Structure 1
Amino acid sequence: MVEKYSLEILNRPDLFYQLINNMTDLVFLTKVNQDKSLSYVILNKPAKDLYGLTNESFGRPIEEVLPSNAYHIIKRKYEEAIEKKQPIKYEDMVIVSPLLQTNNHGIIYWESTITPVFNQDGVCTHLLAIVRNLTEQREKENEIQRIKDRLELVWNSVADVMFTFDKNEDIVSVNKAFEKLLGWKAEDLVKDKSISFIPEDDKEDLRKFIERVKNGETVTSHEVKRIPKSGEMIYFLGSFSPLYDQNGDWDGGVVAYKNITERKKYEDKLKELALHDPLTGFPNRTYFSQCLKIEMEKAKLSKLLLSVFALDIDHFKEINDTYGHDIGDEVLKEFAKRVKRAIRKNDFLARIGGDEFVILIPELTEKTKVVEMADRIQQCLGDEWIIANEKIKITSSIGISFYNQFDSEEKTLFKNADLALYEAKKKGRNNYQIYNDQKNG
C-alpha cells in the first residue's frame, strides 16, 4: 500500500514541481546532449530567478542563457563531476544584478553539489546541481573576521603591553608592544615554560591578583616590576581583567601594563633629592631622622648600644671668608668623603646644615668603640688638604651621645650630642667629648 501511494506521488508532476519550487535551495537538472552541450530540463523557481531565466530557456545551450562568467565556472565544474564520476562540492561567489541583490554588496555566496547521473552504458546523461545560498552565513563570518581584524589592529597598535592567559594560567597571546618591550613572542612563552618575566618578590602579589580575577574582579592600577629579555627591570602600572567563554564560565584573563619606568625614575630622583643634601650627595636631616627612629626601635629589641656623633668643621666661617664660598663648598664635600672612609660600612653619615654633620652608629657592643672611631676621624682629617691648589688645615670638633637607657627621644639624642660638641669647642676645638649628664647638665 505504501509503495503504491509513493509511486502515485512520483507520477504527479504538479506535486513534484510544487515541492522543488518551495525549496530554498536552487535545483538545476541539466541534460548532457550527445554533442556534449548542456541544456536545462528542470529548474525550480529560485534557480530561474537567480539568472532571470524563463520557460524559453529550457532546451537551449546553457552558454546562451547564462552570463559568460557564470557559464565558464559551471561548465568547468560539470566536466569535473563527469570525469570523476562522483558528486563534487564547491563554493563560489557571484555578483548579481541590482534587482536580485540581497545585501549591500550585490554578492551571493553559494555552496554547490553537482551529482552526475549515468545510464546503464556508463554514459553521463544528466547532472543534478543543488545550490545552497550561504550569503547570510558568510556575511556573519566575514563580519566576525572584520571585528577580529579590527581588534587585532587595536591590540597591536596600543602602546601598552598586553597579553592574555587561559584558565590554566598559560600565556595565549601577546601584543606587539609586549614583544617590543619585553622581548618575547607568544610562541616563545608557549614552547618554553621556564621563561619568566616575573621577579621573585612580585610572584606572591601576582598570585593574589589572579585569584581575584578568577572571582570575576577587575584589578586596576597596581605597580609591578617585570624583567624583559634584556634583563633591565621595567616598572609598570598593571591592570588584570577576567575573560569568559560562551557559557559565561571563567576562561582566563587579559593583562595590560603601562610602562611607568621613566616616571618611576623621576619619582625616585625626587625622593633622592628630598632625602639628600644636594651639595655633598649624603643624606640630609630628614633622612637621618627616619633612620634614627628605626635604629632606636632596633636597639630596644637587641639591647645593643646606639651612638650619635655631632661634628662640624672648626673655623669654617674663616675658610669661607679667606678662600671664598666655592672653595668652602669643596671643603664640605671632601670633609664628608674623609669622614665616610673613617666610619664603618653600616654607619650613617648625614649633613644637616652648613658645616654641621651627624653620624648614626648602631649595634655597638661597648662604648670604647666610639672612642676608636672618633680617633680615626680626627686622624683622617689631619692629613694634608689641597683644595684648588690651596693648602688648608682642617680640624673638627665632635660631640658624642649614647642611646642606652632606651627611654630618651630622638631630639634628646641630638641635643646631648650638641651639648657634647659645645664642650669640645670650649676645650679648644679639634677634639671629641662624650656627653655626661652631670658634667653637661
Structure 2
Amino acid sequence: MYESSKLSLVKALTEGIQEVVFIMRVEEEQRFLYEFVNNAANSIIGKYAVGKSFREVLPEEIAEILENHFAEAYTTKKIIKFEIRVPHFSPENGYAETTLTPILNSNNECTHIVAIAKNITEEKSVKIEFEENLQLLEETKSEYRSLFDYNGDAIFSLDLEGVIQDGNPMIQAVSGRTVKELKGENFTELLDYKYREKISDAFSLAFTGDLKSHRIRLLQQTGEKISCLIHFAPIKNREEILGIFAIVKDMREIDKLLGQYIQSEKNFRIIAENVQDVVILMNHDKEYLYVSPSSKKVFGFDNTKINKKAPFFNIHPDYVSLLEQKFQHSVSEGSSFTIELKGMHGERGWIWTEINGNPVYDAFHNFRHMVLIARDISLQKENESQLEYFAYHDSLTSLPNRRFFRNQLSEALAKIKAGLEEFAVVMLDIDNFKYINDTFGHETGDEVIHEFAKRLKYSLDDSDFVARLGGDEFIILLPNIKEIPLIIEKVKRIQKAIKEPWLIEGSLISITSSIGVVHIKEATFTASSLLKMVDDAMYTAKKAGKNMYYINESTSY
C-alpha cells in the first residue's frame, strides 16, 4: 500500500509539468509496461499506451534503445541519464535528455521506473553547431597561419595603437630585424620621417574602411631606405576591430624593371603596383598607346601586335557599351572605375576579367590618357560558383541540401498562396539503416545512401525536386500535382527503384523505405509546420510495418 501511494503521488506531481513523464511497471523477465503517461507524453507515446510495451507503441529503433537503458536502471537500481533522438520534438532532428529513476519496494525490489524526458533539441543543435564551427575555426587558423608565414610580402600585426604584436619571416627582409626584435615598437618608427604623418593618417582611416595602398620608404637597421608599398587591413572578430594588418611589399626590383617605361610619377605608381596584371594606356580616342608584355601570359595576346587593333577588340559584345560609358564618365569626372566583364583569351576563349580604370591629366588638368589594369579573375569566379554550390548541396550525394529545399518549399508555398498550383511533399528514410551501419560499417552505409539518392533521382521526373535532409532522410517536392492517384504512381515508382537488388559486401540484401506524403491544397502552412506534418506521415508509415507509405490529405494543420 505504501508503494502504491508513493506511485500515486508521483503521478499527481508529474501530470502538470511540461516534460515528458511516463512510468513503466516491471513485469517478470524484465518486461516493462506503461503504467502512467502524463499529458506532455500523450503527443509522443499516445494516451492508449497504458498496459503496452515499448515495441507496441514506438518505432523499433527507439524501443530497443529504451529497453536497454531501462534494463540497466532495473539491474543497477541507480538513476540513469542518457540522450535519445525523438523525431516528435523537431521535424528535422529532435533530441531528449532522459532520466530514469527506479522505484523500490520495502524488499528493495524495483517495481516501477519513472522516466522524465526533457527536450534538448535546441541545446543539442547549438552544441553540434559549436563543435562544427570549432573544427572549421581550427582548419581556418591553420590555413591562415600558412598564408601568413609563407606570404611573399612582409606582414606586421599591429594593435589598435599601431604597436607591433607579431609578424611573418619576410619582415626581416625589409627591415633587417627579426619579429622578436621589433615586438613592442610602434610601426611608424620604422618609416622614413617624411612618411610617418601620412601613414599615421592612413592607419586611422583603415578603421573606417578606407584601405588604400600607399608608397613609403622603410628604414632598414643599416639606415638604408627601402621603397615599399603598404596596405592596411583591419583584423576583425565579427564587427569588432581587434587590430590592423600592415602588408608591406618590397618594390625595389619592380621599380628597377619598370623604370624605363615610366613617364610620370602617377604612371610609375599605377604600373608598379600592378605589374603582375596587364597594364594598358589609351588616349581619348581609345587608341592603344601602351600594352604591357604580361598580356601574352594573362590573355594570350602579343602586346607588340595590339597597337593597331580596334578599341576593346577582345571585350565581349554584351559589355562593350557599358565599358565605354565607364570610360567616358571617368574622363569627365576624373574618377576611377572598376568593372567585371568577359574578355577574349587567345587560346581559352571568353574568360572573366576585372578592369580598373584611372584617368591621368597634365598640369593644366587636360586629359592625357587612361591607365587600364586588366586581370584574369576566372578562377575567382569559379571558386565563388563552387562555394555557392556547396552551400546548397549535400557533399555525399550531390543532391540539394536542407537549405536549398527550404527555399524551394517557400517558393511552392508562395505559389499556392497566389492560387497558382497545388503540390505534394514526400519524406522517406531507409528502413533499418542502423543495422546496415552496424553490420557493414559507416563507409558502406555512405555507399548505400549514395546509391539510394541515385535511385530516387532516376525514378522521378525532371520537374520534381529531391533533397537530402541528413543521415538517411530524404525529401521530395512534387510540384503542380492535384490527383492522389498520380502521387501514388510516383511513390510506387520510387518503391520499385529501391526494391531492385542491392549487392553489399558480396551479399544480396533487401532495402526498403518508409514513405510519408502530404498533399497541399490550401495556403494554411508554414515551412516548419509542413515539415513536421510530413515527418509525422513518414513515422506513421514506419509504425505500420515499414516498406509502407502513408498519404495525409489534410488541408490544415
Q: Would the aligned equivalents of 1:419 and 1:435 in 2 still touch at CA under 8 Å?
A: no
Q: Could you tell me which residue of structure 1 aligns to residue 426 of structure 2? A: 309
Q: Could you tell me which residue of structure 2 aligns to residue 337 of structure 1? A: 454
- 3-state SS of the aligned residue for 2:546? coil
Q: Could you tell me which residue of structure 1 aligns to residue 464 of structure 2? A: 347
Q: Would the aligned equivalents of 1:243 and 1:252 in 2 still touch at CA under 8 Å?
A: yes
Measure the CA separation in 1 of the matches of 2:410 and 2:354.
32
CA pair 224-388 structure 1, distance change in 2 beyond 3 A = farther
TM-score (normalised: structure 1):
0.57
- Write the letter of the residue equivalent to 2:438: D
Measure the CA separation in 2 of the matches of 1:365 and 1:191.
65
Question: Quick check: 1:286 aligned with 2:403?
Answer: yes
- Write the letter of the residue equivalent to 1:286: R
Deviation at 1:232, TM superposition (A): 4.9
Q: Unpaired runs of 5+ in structure 1?
A: 1-143
Q: Could you tell me which residue of structure 1 aligns to residue 475 of structure 2? A: 358
Question: Which has the greater radius of gyration?
Answer: 1
> CA offsets per residue over residues 38-75 of structure 1, 9 Å max, x none?
xxxxxxxxxxxxxxxxxxxxxxxxxxxxxxxxxxxxxx
State which of 543, 546, 550 in structure 2 corresponds to 1:426: 543
> CA offsets per residue over residues 260-285 of structure 1, 9 Å max, x none?
44344444433333332222222221
- Write the letter of the residue equivalent to 2:359: P
Question: Quick check: 1:323 aligned with 2:440?
Answer: yes
273-282 or 362-371: bigger deviation: 362-371
Identity of aligned residues (%): 32
Q: Could you tell me which residue of structure 1 aligns to residue 518 of structure 2? A: 401
Q: Could you tell me which residue of structure 2 aligns to residue 248 of structure 1? A: 365
Measure the CA separation in 2 of the matches of 1:146 and 1:251.
16
Q: Could you tell me which residue of structure 1 aligns to residue 276 of structure 2? A: 159
CA pair 250-147 structure 1, distance change in 2 beyond 3 A = closer
> CA offsets per residue over residues 190-244 of structure 1, 9 Å max, x none?
6554985434554565355335313325345554443312235544443222244
- 3-state SS of the aligned residue for 1:416? helix
Question: Quick check: 1:416 aligned with 2:416?
Answer: no
Deviation at 1:350, TM superposition (A): 1.5
- 3-state SS of the aligned residue for 2:539? helix
CA pair 353-261 structure 1, distance change in 2 beyond 3 A = same
User: Within 5 Å, which residues of 2 pair with 1:15-30?
Assistant: none
Question: Quick check: 1:231 aligned with 2:231?
Answer: no
Q: Would the aligned equivalents of 1:330 and 1:387 in 2 still touch at CA under 8 Å?
A: no
> CA offsets per residue over residues 149-199 of structure 1, 9 Å max, x none?
996998598111232333344554322222321122456556554985434
Measure the CA separation in 2 of the matches of 1:153 and 1:396.
67
- Write the letter of the residue equivalent to 2:475: V
- Write the letter of the residue equivalent to 2:525: S
Q: Could you tell me which residue of structure 2 aligns to residue 383 of structure 1? A: 500
Question: Quick check: 1:276 aligned with 2:386?
Answer: no
Q: Would the aligned equivalents of 1:235 and 1:260 in 2 still touch at CA under 8 Å?
A: yes
Question: Quick check: 1:257 aligned with 2:366?
Answer: no
Which of structures 1 and 2 has the larger relative contact order (alpha carbons within 8 angstroms, sep 6+)? 1
Measure the CA separation in 1 of the matches of 2:316 and 2:546.
53
- Write the letter of the residue equivalent to 1:158: V
Q: Give the root-mean-square deviation of aligned CA atoms.
A: 3.6
Q: Would the aligned equivalents of 2:288 and 2:308 in 1 still touch at CA under 8 Å?
A: no
Measure the CA separation in 2 of the matches of 1:388 and 1:170.
69
Q: Would the aligned equivalents of 1:347 and 1:359 in 2 still touch at CA under 8 Å?
A: yes
> CA offsets per residue over residues 382-432 of structure 1, 9 Å max, x none?
111113322121111222224442342222331222122122223322232
User: Within 5 Å, which residues of 2 pair with 1:31-180?
Assistant: 147-148=262-263, 155=271, 158-169=275-286, 171-180=288-297
Measure the CA separation in 1 of the matches of 2:321 and 2:415.
28
- Write the letter of the residue equivalent to 2:461: R
- Write the letter of the residue equivalent to 2:545: G
Q: Could you tell me which residue of structure 2 aligns to residue 104 of structure 1? A: none
CA pair 216-342 structure 1, distance change in 2 beyond 3 A = same
Q: Unpaired runs of 5+ in structure 2?
A: 1-258
Measure the CA separation in 1 of the matches of 2:404 and 2:421.
22
229-238 or 277-286: bigger deviation: 229-238
- 3-state SS of the aligned residue for 2:295? helix
Q: Would the aligned equivalents of 1:189 and 1:195 in 2 still touch at CA under 8 Å?
A: no
> CA offsets per residue over residues 256-315 of structure 1, 9 Å max, x none?
134444344444433333332222222221222233334444555570233322111111
- 3-state SS of the aligned residue for 1:376? helix
The number of aligned residues is: 297
Q: Would the aligned equivalents of 2:423 and 2:482 in 1 still touch at CA under 8 Å?
A: no
CA pair 152-324 structure 1, distance change in 2 beyond 3 A = same
Q: Would the aligned equivalents of 2:277 and 2:298 in 1 still touch at CA under 8 Å?
A: no
CA pair 361-242 structure 1, distance change in 2 beyond 3 A = farther
- 3-state SS of the aligned residue for 1:308? strand
CA pair 145-186 structure 1, distance change in 2 beyond 3 A = closer
Q: Would the aligned equivalents of 1:212 and 1:219 in 2 still touch at CA under 8 Å?
A: no
